[in-house]
Amino acid sequence: MVKENQNIDILNQEDLSGHNTYKLINCLINTIDLVGVFDLNVNLIIENCIINNLEIHSCWFTNGLSLKNTIVKKPVDYQMGGHNIKPIVIDGSIFTGFVNFFDCQFENVIELRNNIFEKGTNLLGNKGEGFENSFATGWLVENNVGKVDVNDVEVL
């Protein structure tokens, strides 16, 4: 499924079900609501979009996530996530609010390249805490603007 050049009020699990791959290209999206979606079995690809609310608390991107050249306007709270069999790639995107990675277990690589984190992220932070993120096959973090190893939990 490909949605291109559209205004989307809300995208949720029902919209994604039944698809192997779901692409959003050049879209204005008010809300992506995937809260509590364990085992999201779609490869979600988002490119050149503007997203107001990215709600992904407790979502497992089992078949991967690609977020490229996208602006996310509000803080992101990604707790108890990961569990990705395929890579999660965030590249060339801008986050205007804090991006909270809390107690995520990444089974495959997560890549953060060429992004701007205006308020930072704790993806590589919270060292030694019980809720520190884990990376079974490692991570790739390069050429980002903003702190990626915040040692704090932001209340969102």
* Residue recorded with tokens 């085992």: 39
Instruction: Give the residue among 114, 73, 97, 144 at the shortest CA–CA distance from 124.
Output: 144
Entry pTM: 0.93
Predicted local confidence at residue 44, as pLDDT = 97
User: Taking the chain, what is the end-to-end CA distance rounded to the nearest angstrom?
Assistant: 32
Q: Which sign does the torsion angle of CA 1, 33, 60, 152 carry?
A: positive
For the chain, the structural domain boundaries read 2-142
Query: Would you state the pLDDT for residue 154?
Result: 55
Per-residue pLDDT of the chain (156 residues; tens, 9 = 90+): 999 999 999 999 999 999 999 999 999 999 999 998 888 899 999 999 999 999 999 999 999 999 999 999 999 999 888 888 899 999 999 999 999 999 999 999 999 999 999 999 999 988 777 788 999 999 999 999 999 998 866 544
Q: Which amino acid is at 38?
A: F
